[in-house]
Every structure is written in C-alpha cells, then in structure tokens.
Structure 1
C-alpha cells in the first residue's frame, strides 16, 4: 500500500540520461512529455526539464505525492522503458524560499 504524502511536501526526481539522448529520444518524446504534462495538470508536478550544457539529465519537482507515486511515474515513462534513463533518484525536497503554498 502506498504511503500518503503530507500536505505541502515535495519530492525531487533526478534522471541520468544516456550520452546520446538527443539522438535517441525522438520516437518517445511525445509520450514522455504527455506523461509529465498529465502530472502537471493534476497539480502533482510543479516544474520539470532537462539540464543543459551538456544535456545529460533532468529534474522534476513533485508536490504532495509519495515516493511510490514518483516511482510509478518513472516506470511508466517511455524514456525509462526504452533504456534512455540508466539511473534515477527520488528524494524528499525541502522548500525554504519561494512559492510553497
């Protein structure tokens, strides 16, 4: 049974991409973005995007979700399913400044 997330809690998801992500992501990008946008529409994903220079990973910040929900999001991500994410981490994220309402 998944644990419930406390109100106003955050989770940080970090992806590590394969070195040639920009060349390999094409067939999976639309579904990858759709999954992220679905979580954003549900107000569970606050921000997400790739890190650049070089593009070697991505960062997602979720709000009021459990670690199990984030793990399920990763498992359903076509980038993960197709080997474009060799590793990832999920950690609690403590907001100390900015919009945390």
Structure 2
C-alpha cells in the first residue's frame, strides 16, 4: 500500500460557507476512514487557506475519487486540488508493516 496526499486550496469564504456542506463532507471522510483509506485529514490554521488529507491505497485513485465526490469541491469551496504520492518511511504506522 502507498500513501497519497490530497492538497486543497480553500476559497476566501470557506469558513463562512462550509457549514451547509460540513455534515456531508464529514460523512464522506468518516466512511473513507472506516474503510482504511483516509488516515488523517484537516484544514491548516492561521490562515485557514489550505487543507491536507492523507490517504492509503494501491494507487492515487483513492484520493482522486474522494475529491471528486467531496461536497466542498462540488460546491466551489475548493479553488484547486491536487494529489501527490507520499513516500513515507518512518512513523508509528510502519511498526506493524
């Protein structure tokens, strides 16, 4: 399995507008986490202009599919997004692998 980082660039009105889509977004994230696909995710702070979600899967499609279904993306709260493979080599996740 590989790790992939989904990078979001947030709109200026992200904090004001996300409320109406937040439950659906978090539901999608919780489903991905329960499947073992989403490892960690959240918005950066001060300023809240970007978000990072770390996925684990056979290929980048796990992160790409999440972004395409995310209500934040579908409703214009994300200016742009990209996925990059992350060659993680150390940390507690690797102790049992």
TM-score normalised to structure 1 length? 0.87
* Aligned residues of 1:17 and 1:57 also touching (Cα < 8 A): yes
| Counterpart in the other structure of 2:30 | 37
- Unaligned runs of 5+ residues in structure 1 are 1-6
Cα–Cα, structure 1 residues 32 and 97, in superposed 2: closer, same or farther, change >3 Å? same
- Unaligned runs of 5+ residues in structure 2 are none
RMSD: 1.1
Question: How many angstroms apart in 1 are the aligned matches of 2:40 and 2:4?
Answer: 11
Cα–Cα, structure 1 residues 22 and 36, in superposed 2: closer, same or farther, change >3 Å? same
Counterparts of 1:10-89 in structure 2, within 5 Å, are 10-89=3-82
Give the CA deviation at 1:57.
1.3
* Aligned residues of 1:14 and 1:57 also touching (Cα < 8 A): yes
Q: Deviations over 1:58-101 (max 9, x none)?
A: 10110124222321111110000000011011010011220233
TM-score normalised to structure 2 length? 0.91
Q: Deviations over 1:1-34 (max 9, x none)?
A: xxxxxx2x10011100001111011100000011
Q: Deviations over 1:14-56 (max 9, x none)?
A: 1000011110111000000111110000011110011000111
